[in-house]
Structure 1
Amino acid sequence: MNIKLVTLNLRHDKPDPGNNAWTVRKNAIVALINHYKPDIIGTQEGKAHQLLDLHRLLPNYQSVGCDRTGTGTNEHCAIFYHTQRLNCIETGDFFLSNTPEIPGSISSEWGNPLPRMVSWAIFTLAGESKTLTCVNTHLDYKSAKARELGAELIRDRLTPFHPENTYLFLTGDFNADPGTV
């Protein structure tokens, strides 16, 4: 299998000067994607209007994944995929907490101040008998305990994806310092 994956923290859109402004960054992101032509892009921190910008500028890509609150207005862990190469057959989301099925859920004992989540998608690829599963996340920036418990929950949730049936890829912003993983 020959597949190109990229993980990309879009950095939420906030008032920034110069090159940090979303109006500038989005063009650099599109140029990067057009240059490397990845099949899958795991994004983090994208708000709905940022994802819409990317859809307008990258017509060969679609995306899956909800936002971290379930309202559609907050940050997403969207997975973009090249529609001419991949066919999406199943998607899902879960939240990094003691109640992973509840959108926006936070477990106070984990120590994370914001909801954290995972989006996943299963794809078929022409000429391959196995499917391709991409799992995308954004772990907490503040709490090491939340990162550890989130990683454990992700591992546990990946168990049903049997490697004999699918290629499994994990993308994300793990907020890890060098040497801590």
Structure 2
Amino acid sequence: MTTSPSLPVGDQAAVDREFTDVQAEIRNANFLGATILGASITGAGIAVPLLADRVRAVVTGQPVVVVGLAGAGVLAIVAALWQLLNVVLPRLNVKASDGRANFITYAHTDPAYVPALIAASNRADEIPTLSRIAKRKYRGLGLAGRLLKAAIVLLAAATILAIVF
């Protein structure tokens, strides 16, 4: 783990700004993932019923390479959607064993202890954890984007070969 000298020790305003920025990055990643996921599922919801009757007839008359490319493209889309779900779905198995309290902790805490948990929290200690969450989400978005790009290439190649053959 590396440390950064960008925040002066004891500068609570800077810590609060960084904390807020990292939380904004997590929200942004969730928004982007949900938007891409929604658009992908909407597109699939429109395309699948329109194409379902034709797929069987078309696939049976196509060369193996065309069917293979189309199948790989569909598989890449499914993998991308799965990755997007990993980005946007919450992880509810978080524990406050490291001393950090969160809404999951509060859900199982006597209300009388909540103020003490909040007072004991340290935003500076939470920034690295939140940053790792944001980084994981952005990596997931990147992977999903690359999978969708691969799907586009595979499906375009299958379409071109289907026209040529």
Q: Same fold (TM over 0.5)?
A: no
- Give the TM-score, by structure 1 length: 0.21
Larger Rg: 2
Q: Tell me the TM-score normalised to structure 2 length.
A: 0.22
Larger strand fraction of residues: 1
Q: Which has the higher contact order (CA 8 A, sep 6+)?
A: 2
Greater percentage in helix: 2
